[in-house]
């Protein structure tokens, strides 16, 4: 990413492989959604840093491909295929992880799904339950099932989005609601969980298969999957509770002080985008 965009976009990040190695070598870290995008990049960085990297997602072939890259570079990786949207699979995969690894030093809750559809145009009814399952209830159930392995000092990282921190935007209801819901749930759970450290990472736009289908995003500056993974792993090297680009505070303040004006702005942008999308 060009220097100016990086300056404008980037959240704090762990760009020093030696710093990551200091904290990750010999540790066991579970990364969900490790078969693609940010999760795969985070798993590779952890593997390179000497962590035993446990990788969860639905597609075993993709997980195995990332695990093979980690092993080829001298790291250790183990794959756990499971669908976070299926409560029975969540329970079963947690039992398998606990049987293999009685202690987890960190869990990166990264798996996620994004749907960008106008509810008013009759977005499929399944959107909301599906996103709530993958982005909220599934990861919450997984962490609760893994409690026996999460001891004092374990770090739980939530890969969230800047959109979870500002007012609702057109087309984003199911995504924003599920991401914000899990974030709040995790912060509340952490308050009852002595010694476990929780950090939320609010990412801006990242170039991955998730953001690829949106035409408009191809013209906007974005982080690469590796740059985003460096931000995601930052809470392992610094005891922060929040990682976000500096400009997110401005959006949060605008949501608080001028929600109506911000809402009008977001609706105007959406109307422009619709016109642009339907251009011949
Ligand atoms: N890309 C962005 O612009 C952006 C911005 C802010 C935040 N984020 C967040 O970053 C995280 C990673 O997204 P990404 O951009 O890297 O997207 P991605 O490339 O589409 O990766 C999503 C990952 O989640 C896994 N996943 C999806 N549904 C799942 C399910 N039901 N059970 C288990 N795993 C599932 C996918 O694996 P399988 O398909 O193999 O299951 C994949 O590994 C998400 O939480 C997203 O909300 C992304």
Average pLDDT over residues 21-48: 98
62 lines ligand 1 (CB under 6 A): yes
Structural contact between residues 222 and 205, judged by C-beta atoms closer than 8 angstroms: yes
Q: Within its chain, how far is the Cα of 177 from the centroid?
A: 14
Annotation says 175 is catalytic: yes
Q: How far is the centre of ligand 1, averaged over its atoms, from the C-alpha of 255 (Å)?
A: 26
**pLDDT greater than 60 at residue 1:** no
Helix/strand/coil for 56: strand
Q: How far apart are CA 187 and CA 198, in angstroms?
A: 7
Encode pLDDT of 151-205 as tens digits: 889 999 999 999 999 999 998 999 999 999 999 999 999 999 989 999 999 999 9
The domain over range 3-247 is classified in CATH as 3.40.50.720: yes
pLDDT score recorded for residue 278: 77
Q: Is the pLDDT of residue 277 over 80?
A: no
Tell me, in angstroms, the distance from the centre of ligand 1 to residue 218's CA: 18
Mean pLDDT, rounded, for 27-34: 98
- Residue closest to 220 by CA, chosen among 149, 276, 259: 276
DSSP string covering 169-215: -TT-HHHHHHHHHHHHHHHHHHHTSTT-EEEEEEE--B-STTTTT-G
pLDDT tens-digit readout, 241-260: 999 999 999 999 999 999 99
pLDDT number for residue 49: 98
Predicted local distance difference test score (pLDDT) of residue 81: 98
77-101, pLDDT tens digit by residue? 999 999 999 999 999 999 999 999 9
Q: What is the pLDDT of residue 10?
A: 85
End-to-end Cα distance, the chain: 30
Cβ of 130 less than 6 Å from ligand 1: no
């Amino acid at each position: 990413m060009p220097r100016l965009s990086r300056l404008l976009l980037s959240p704090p990040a762990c760009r020093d492989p030696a710093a990551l190695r200091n904290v990750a070598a010999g540790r066991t870290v579970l990364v969900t959604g490790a078969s693609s995008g940010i999760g795969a990049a985070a798993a590779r960085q952890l593997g390179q840093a000497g962590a035993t990297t446990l990788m969860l997602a639905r597609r075993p072939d993709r997980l195995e491909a990332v695990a093979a890259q980690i092993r080829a570079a001298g790291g250790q990786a183990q794959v756990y295929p499971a669908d976070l949207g299926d409560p029975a699979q969540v329970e079963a995969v947690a039992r398998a992880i606990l049987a293999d690894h009685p202690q987890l030093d960190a869990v990166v809750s990264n798996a996620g799904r994004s749907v960008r559809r106008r509810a008013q145009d009759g977005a499929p009814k399944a959107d909301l339950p599906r996103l709530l399952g993958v982005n909220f209830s599934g990861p919450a159930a997984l962490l609760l099932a893994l409690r026996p392995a999460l001891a004092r000092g374990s770090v739980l990282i939530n890969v969230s989005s800047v959109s979870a921190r500002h007012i609702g935007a057109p087309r984003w209801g199911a995504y924003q609601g599920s991401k914000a819901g899990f974030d709040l749930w995790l912060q509340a759970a952490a308050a009852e969980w002595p010694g476990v450290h929780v950090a939320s990472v609010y990412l801006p736009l990242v170039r991955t298969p998730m953001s690829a289908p949106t035409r408009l995003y191809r013209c906007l500056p974005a982080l690469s999957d590796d740059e985003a993974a460096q931000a995601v792993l930052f809470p392992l090297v610094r005891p922060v509770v929040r990682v976000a680009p500096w400009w997110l505070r401005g959006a949060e303040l605008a949501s608080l002080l001028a929600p109506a004006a911000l809402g009008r702005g977001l609706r105007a942008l959406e109307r422009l985008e619709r016109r642009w999308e339907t251009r011949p």
